């Protein structure tokens, strides 16, 4: 199969078979001498999963770390967390140049400055629509509409063939801000010849076309103009077009915009620096919020996903130090629940309604559109680029499968793959030729642990049934020196008869010890194991659950 230039290969290390955590690698050359390119380095948010104490999930990049000598660089398509959120944590393992457009670069730098101890990363700022080389890869940026400024598809040209990596995109002729999807360049690339289209599948289950950001802007304008009192709008901070729509509406309604929440402040500052809020009035600090008449203010808040510590949740709980809302005020959720967050968002909405605040969501008003292509848009992309083959990426199994079916109906050859599949893209039709390690890392405090480490599984066990700890001092005659100490946590205080489970456990310690044959009492390990079993059984008989039990034996 291999020609004089070897093969072009591709492997998703994240984002294919799941939502979020997008990281793709492309390799060029023969197997023993391949140069590599990374496209995107994203995270997933753990709150939707049952991972206690974990905020972020990162792709396990051990495979590409091993290839680091042959790694030419990292290209970031855009600045959403699921495409660039793992850079600060993973770059120290890679230490190669990063290529990003101005807004993405500025947001990465702003993020780095907000995290003490984050690495100083070399960023090559590349212009929109530009063409540049990363090692042997000839990359051309294609501007695409999305829900953040400067989303880019990548044309990747190599001696063995050219492919299109769409990144996140949609078609929006009136995107409020930034460039629409560059149809002309995509058609021209189609004329030139595209072997494989690697395309966003997120919305492949949805019929038709997404409405435009301009339609959303109109709705928001109407809602702000007609509001009888204060208005708060919550949206994804990075959606600068949406922020701009709110600002324009506020100006029409003669209201000041107050920005609430650190993520929102950071994006606003970066958008000002990069010109995306040129011509937009100055926003006001939270300190003036309380002094503005209620019909003269719009609060732009973080917290659209019900995050408990974000601005809107704190406002809904009446726990925000500076920003309050009251009966008759209006809150607009200019957002959509990310699956898994429904319950948390519901809590915020119900908290607001309990205070007599009006809540408007996309259930009844066009106050949000997705940034991903629906089915008619996917068909347009295929008709423009006319790829020989298509590989669905960015999505769960359902989305990949629907995207695949759609492409097949358009007459395109389809390969579906999953994280860790190594796919030969060229020469020849795409084929899975190998498997590479791909998994997940959890960010636990400051430490990255592998998904296989026992830490999280142990914490789940603790959260299910608590822990009993027993300390015994054992002398060399096999006698207890001093009274045993015992502590229970995460276990009900009393059984159904009202007896203390602590007393029951303590009795079990003594009874188990006394029931041991004399010679076994000298063996600390043997005593520990017997007491552990005795305590667990005693608690289980009263509770119906077996706690973890640690028995610490000190030999004195």
486 scored as a contact of a second copy (CB under 8 A): yes
483 scored as a contact of a second copy (CB under 8 A): yes
Nearest distance from C-beta of residue 290 to a second copy, angstroms: 26
| N residues, the chain | 556
363 scored as a contact of a second copy (CB under 8 A): yes
Nearest distance from C-beta of residue 42 to a second copy, angstroms: 19
When the beta carbons of 73 and 351 are compared against a second copy, the nearer one is: 351
471 scored as a contact of a second copy (CB under 8 A): yes
Please give, one letter per residue, the 3-state secondary structure of 328-391.
CCEEEECCCCCCCCHHHHHHHHHHHHHCCCEEECCCCCCCCCCCCCCHHHHHHHHHHHCCCEEE
Q: Is 369 in contact with 213 (CB distance < 8 Å)? A: yes
When the beta carbons of 228 and 482 are compared against a second copy, the nearer one is: 482
The sign of the dihedral angle between the CA atoms of 97, 91, 20, 387 is positive
Among 2, 288, 326, 489, binds a second copy (CB under 8 A): 489
Cα–Cα distance, 234 to 357 (Å, whole number): 14
Cα–Cα distance, 270 to 340 (Å, whole number): 30
- What percentage of the chain's residues is helix, strand, coil (to nearest 5)? 35, 25, 40
From the list 65-73, 228-236, 289-297, 335-343, the region that binds a second copy by CB under 8 A is 335-343
376 scored as a contact of a second copy (CB under 8 A): no
What does the per-residue mask of binding to a second copy show for 503-542, with x meaning CB under 8 A? ---------------------------------------x
Among 319, 434, 487, 503, binds a second copy (CB under 8 A): 487
Could you tell me the strand order of the sheet in which 330-333 lies? Answer: 256-260, 297-301, 231-234, 330-333, 358-360
Using alpha carbons only, how large is the chain's radius of gyration in Å?
29
Nearest distance from C-beta of residue 223 to a second copy, angstroms: 18
Residue 264 CA to its chain's centroid (Å): 17
Q: Which residues, numbered 30-59, are part of the site for a second copy (CB under 8 A)? A: 48-49, 52-53
Phi, psi of 455 (to 5 degrees): -45, -55
Token pair 């590479």: residue? 436
481 scored as a contact of a second copy (CB under 8 A): yes
| Residues forming a β-bridge with 198 | 165, 391
Q: Which residues, numbered 380-419, are part of the site for a second copy (CB under 8 A)? A: 396-398, 401
Phi, psi of 172 (to 5 degrees): -150, 105
493 scored as a contact of a second copy (CB under 8 A): yes
When the beta carbons of 281 and 541 are compared against a second copy, the nearer one is: 541
Among 32, 69, 291, 446, binds a second copy (CB under 8 A): 446
Q: Which residues, numbered 191-220, are part of the site for a second copy (CB under 8 A)? A: 205
Nearest distance from C-beta of residue 273 to a second copy, angstroms: 30
Cα–Cα distance, 179 to 172 (Å, whole number): 9
Q: Is 210 in contact with 172 (CB distance < 8 Å)? A: yes
Tell me, what DSSP letter sits at residue 149?
A: S
Q: Which residues, numbered 175-194, are part of the site for a second copy (CB under 8 A)? A: none
Strands 56-60 and 44-45, bridge-based pairing: antiparallel
Among 350, 383, 511, 515, binds a second copy (CB under 8 A): 350
Binding residues for a second copy, rule: CB under 8 A, are: 17, 48-49, 52-53, 205, 339-340, 342-343, 346, 349-351, 353-354, 359, 363, 396-398, 401, 444-449, 453, 455, 458-460, 462-467, 469-473, 481-487, 489-496, 542-545, 548, 550, 552-556
């Amino acid at each position: 199969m291999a020609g004089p230039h070897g093969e072009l290969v591709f492997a998703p290390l994240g984002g294919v078979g799941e939502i979020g955590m997008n990281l793709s690698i492309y390799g060029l050359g023969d197997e023993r001498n391949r140069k590599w390119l990374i496209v995107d380095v994203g995270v997933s948010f753990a709150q939707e999963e049952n991972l206690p104490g974990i905020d972020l999930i990162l792709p396990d990049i051990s495979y590409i770390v091993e290839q680091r000598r042959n790694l030419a660089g990292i290209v970031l398509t855009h600045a959403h967390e699921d495409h660039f959120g793992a850079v600060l944590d993973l770059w120290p393992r890679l230490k190669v140049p990063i290529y990003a457009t101005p807004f993405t670069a500025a947001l990465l730098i702003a993020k780095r400055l907000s995290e003490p101890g984050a690495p100083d990363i070399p960023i090559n700022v590349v212009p929109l629509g530009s063409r540049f080389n990363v090692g042997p890869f000839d990359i051309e940026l294609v501007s695409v509409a999305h829900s953040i400024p400067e989303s880019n598809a990548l044309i990747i040209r190599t001696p063995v063939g050219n492919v299109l990596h769409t990144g996140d995109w949609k078609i929006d002729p009136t995107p409020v801000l930034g460039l629409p999807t560059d149809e002309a360049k995509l058609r021209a690339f189609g004329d030139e010849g595209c072997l494989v289209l690697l395309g966003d599948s997120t919305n492949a289950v949805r019929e038709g076309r997404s409405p435009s950001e301009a339609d959303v802007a109109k709705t928001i304008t109407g809602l702000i103009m007609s509001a009888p009192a204060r208005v708060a709008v919550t949206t994804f901070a990075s959606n600068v077009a949406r922020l701009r729509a709110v600002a324009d509406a506020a100006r029409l309604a003669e209201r000041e915009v107050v920005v609430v929440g650190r993520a929102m402040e950071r994006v606003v500052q970066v958008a000002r620096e990069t010109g995306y809020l040129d011509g937009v009035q100055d926003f006001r600090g939270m300190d003036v919020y309380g002094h503005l008449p209620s019909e003269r203010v719009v609060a732009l808040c973080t917290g659209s996903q019900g995050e408990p510590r974000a601005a809107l949740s704190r406002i809904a709980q009446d726990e925000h130090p500076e920003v309050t809302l009251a009966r008759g005020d209006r809150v607009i959720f200019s957002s959509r629940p990310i699956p898994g967050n429904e319950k948390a968002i519901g809590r915020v909405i119900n908290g607001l309604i309990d205070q007599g605040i009006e809540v408007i969501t996309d259930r009844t008003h066009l106050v949000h559109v997705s940034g991903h292509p629906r089915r008619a848009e996917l068909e347009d992309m295929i008709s423009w680029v006319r790829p020989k083959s298509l590989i669905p990426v960015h999505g769960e199994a359902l989305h990949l499968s629907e995207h695949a079916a759609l492409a097949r109906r358009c007459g395109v050859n389809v390969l579906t793959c999953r994280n860790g599949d190594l796919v030969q893209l060229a020469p020849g039709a795409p084929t899975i030729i190998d498997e590479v390690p791909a998994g997940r890392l959890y960010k636990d405090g400051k430490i990255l642990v592998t998904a296989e480490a026992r830490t999280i599984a142990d914490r789940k066990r603790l959260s299910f049934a608590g822990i009993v700890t027993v300390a015994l001092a054992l002398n060399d005659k096999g006698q207890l020196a001093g009274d045993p100490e015992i502590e229970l946590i995460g276990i009900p205080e009393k059984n159904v008869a009202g007896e203390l489970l602590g007393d029951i456990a303590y009795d079990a310690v003594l009874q188990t010890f006394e029931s041991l044959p004399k010679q076994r009492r000298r063996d600390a390990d043997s005593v520990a194991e017997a007491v552990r079993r005795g305590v667990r059984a005693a608690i289980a008989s009263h509770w119906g659950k077996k706690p973890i039990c640690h028995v610490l034996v000190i030999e004195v």
